[in-house]
Amino acid sequence: MIIDSIIETRRRNATEEGKTENWKRSLVKTLSWRTIGTIDTILISYFLTGNLDVAFSIGGIELITKMMLYFFHERIWNQINWGK
């Protein structure tokens, strides 16, 4: 009961102070992280296949699917107060 009250107070204070993330910040984080991840995937794919066309195809598919997954993952975690 006391812990729940402390957690709720911290959540409320974080919201009032602007410490929670909005969807725009989540989107920018999604894009920047996926850029890094996709470059990594393309390099690994090229190293394994030796074919640049295949590497870019794998990277392109991976870019879109993982960007969507990360965005929704980030938004769900933003709703969880644990550890904030």
Residues 31-62 have pLDDT tens digits of 888 889 999 999 999 999 999 999 999 999 99
- The ranges assigned to domains in the chain are 21-84
Mean per-residue pLDDT for 5-30?
Answer: 71
For the question of whether the overall pTM of this predicted structure is more than 0.85, the answer is no
Contact call for residues 38 and 64 (beta carbons, < 8 A)? no
% of the chain exceeding 70 in pLDDT? 77
User: What is the number of other CB atoms lying within 10 angstroms of the CB of residue 33?
Assistant: 14
